[in-house]
């Protein structure tokens, strides 16, 4: 049986985060607006502010997963698995785990720093694959 590369394993972890991150903000929305109203297309102001921020963090993750997936899948296809690509995958994952917390807590500047760390990890990963392939 073939084992998963570190990079592919972290891509799966990121997908799991994306698959579950919506649960807290939808739950908060249902509790605030009511089940029937929450089934409709309601405004973000009908959920607690922290839930609206978490929703934005989720959307941001969804927007950034394709870049990370391209880096990982290109490395898989080219069979490029280096310490750099593994570190970049781990850094991206942990940055994307931290990002929703920084978004919800509204700590000035920290959200942008965490986002930038994740983004740089993807950029470095992409160039590492290009350089090695």
CB 133 within 8 A of CB 80: yes
CB 61 within 8 A of CB 98: no
pLDDT of the residue at 59: 96
Measured torsion, CA atoms of residues 27, 28, 29, 34, in degrees rounded to the nearest 10: 80
pLDDT of the residue at 46: 80
CB 89 within 8 A of CB 126: no
Cα–Cα dist 55/49, whole Å: 10
pLDDT of the residue at 124: 98
pLDDT of the residue at 125: 98
pLDDT tens digits, 7-28: 999 999 999 999 999 999 999 9
Q: Which residues are within 8 A (CB) of 38 and not within 5 positions of it... i.e. 6 or more apart? A: 26, 29, 30, 46
**Which residues in the chain land under pLDDT 50?**
none
CB 89 within 8 A of CB 125: yes
pLDDT of the residue at 19: 97
Structure tokens at 73: 């899948």
Measured torsion, CA atoms of residues 29, 35, 40, 45, in degrees rounded to the nearest 10: -30
pTM across the whole model: 0.92
């Amino acid at each position: 049986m073939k084992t998963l590369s570190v990079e592919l394993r972290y891509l799966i972890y990121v997908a799991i985060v994306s698959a579950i991150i919506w649960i807290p903000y939808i739950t908060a929305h249902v509790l605030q607006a009511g089940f029937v109203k929450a089934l409709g297309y309601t405004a973000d102001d009908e959920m607690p502010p922290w839930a609206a921020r978490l929703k934005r963090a989720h959307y941001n993750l969804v927007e950034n997963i394709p870049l990370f997936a391209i880096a990982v899948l290109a490395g898989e296809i080219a069979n490029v698995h280096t310490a750099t690509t593994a570190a970049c995958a781990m850094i991206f994952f942990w940055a994307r785990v931290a990002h929703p917390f920084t978004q919800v807590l509204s700590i000035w500047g920290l959200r942008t720093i965490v986002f930038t760390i994740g983004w740089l990890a993807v950029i470095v990963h992409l160039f590492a694959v290009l350089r090695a392939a």
